Amino acid sequence: MMTMSQKILAAHCGRKEVRAGELVMASLDLVLGNDITAPVAIREFGKFGRSGVFDKGKVALVPDHFAPNKDIKAATQCAAMRAFAREQGVANYFEVGHDCGVEHALLPEKGLVTAGDLVIGADSHTCTYGALGVFSTGIGSTDMACGMAMGKTWFRVPDAIKVVLSGRPRRHVGGKDLVLHLIGSIGVDGARYMSLEFTGSGVAALTMDDRFTVANMAIEAGAKNGIFPVDDATRRFLAEAGAKPPVVFEADPDASYARTMEIDLSSLEPTVAFPHLPSNVRTVAQALGVEIDQVFIGSCTNGRIGDLRIAAEVLRGRKVHPRVRCIVIPATQKVWLQALDEGLLRVFAEAGCVVSTPTCGPCLGGHMGILADGERCVSTSNRNFVGRMGHPGSEVYLASPAVAASSAVAGRICLLD
């Protein structure tokens, strides 16, 4: 009577069964940190009395938030992580420009996570890997230190919400619209410390990019993790990424859920989250006329090649509104090169966009797109809290790549044909 997530936890703590609410100690397949969170974990690591990390191949360190370094403090953070990676012989350290990128796009691309894995990361959007049938969740830096030292950490086994998907999304409706609709329905704490488990015939209608977007934003509903079943699309992605063979877990037919929701994908409309919560959603039709100053297309939510193709389709042959700054940031070096090969970067440049090297950058108000007081930004990222991208008086509107690109052209929130 276990959910998919509960089965993965049970397997990793050597038990036949776990129940919601139990505290368990489970073995880890991967421990992740970035240039903000890893330096804290590195300082705590020494307190465990271990000479080395538990497994050099199961720790991943990615400088992406303030990298390329924006100032001396950022450079110091990255230097600390770089030195630790060399000292420990960490196999999965990804330097800027050397096949690097935004961590939650990079790790799946590199085949470092696979179905059935248990992954923790000192970043809240580690839940992204649930798109591949992985139990992955964000933790704090001290728990990251424990994970690097011991190869284990504790979990409270989560209850779950079952989300049954049916139908097929319409043109220009995708994963971002689905997850914003879901968060708008249940609120930013509607799935607090629960698994969002997606199932139903509609899953097959979602691309892998769609699924990554949905799983990425599970945390915005308060969820411990989001997770999708493993199907042919998942297997193809894993095979192309060179991941280890998947271990497939399926929920028991009689698994217990705190709640079941049904969503017909064909009924969804292009959706925007207004300031200052991802749950403050409206359809694009309800948002028409909101004038903007900036558009950001990228991040671990919507910076993959499929996202850039959608944005380029809208921008091709058009110009960004003269009042608007449009920033496009491919999520990884591989995506950047693929966009180059497909001519997408030329489309963006000719439209009047700024195209950057892979970085989290503006998503967290880090650099390369900070907002001034009173400015409004349509962003394909995952959060729109007060001051998220700059001044507390600025506003962030979350949307899909199609809506973001359309808004860049019009100078206001809209969706162009």
Sign of CA dihedral 367, 369, 373, 379: negative
pLDDT range class, residue 106, cuts 50, 70, 90? very high
Nearest of 95, 113, 92, 96 to residue 104 by alpha carbon:
113
The amino acid at residue 377 is C
- List CB contacts of 35: < 8 A, sequence separation 6 or more: 62, 63, 64, 65, 66, 67, 74, 77, 78, 81
The amino acid at residue 251 is A
Q: What is the pTM of this model?
A: 0.94
Q: Give the residue ranges of DSSP H helices in 242-356.
A: 284-287, 299-302, 305-315, 333-341, 344-351
The amino acid at residue 35 is D
The DSSP secondary-structure symbol of 323 reads: T
CATH no., domain 272-410: 3.30.499.10
Tokens of 364: 């967290």
68 preceded by a cis bond (ω within 30 of 0) = yes
Residues 84 and 42: beta-carbon distance below 8 Å: yes
Q: How many CB atoms lie within 10 A of CB 22?
A: 15
Tokens of 160: 């779950």
The string of pLDDT tens digits covering residues 141-184 is 999 999 999 999 999 999 999 999 999 999 999 999 999 999 99
Domain with CATH 3.30.499.10 in the chain: 4-243+250-263, 272-410
In this prediction, residue 99 carries a pLDDT of 82
Q: Which fold has domain 4-243+250-263?
A: Aconitase; domain 3 (3.30.499)
- pLDDT over 90 (residue 44): yes
- List CB contacts of 380: < 8 A, sequence separation 6 or more: 176, 296, 297, 298, 299, 301, 302, 303, 307, 398, 399, 400, 401, 404
Q: What percent of the chain has pLDDT over 90?
A: 94
- pLDDT over 90 (residue 51): no
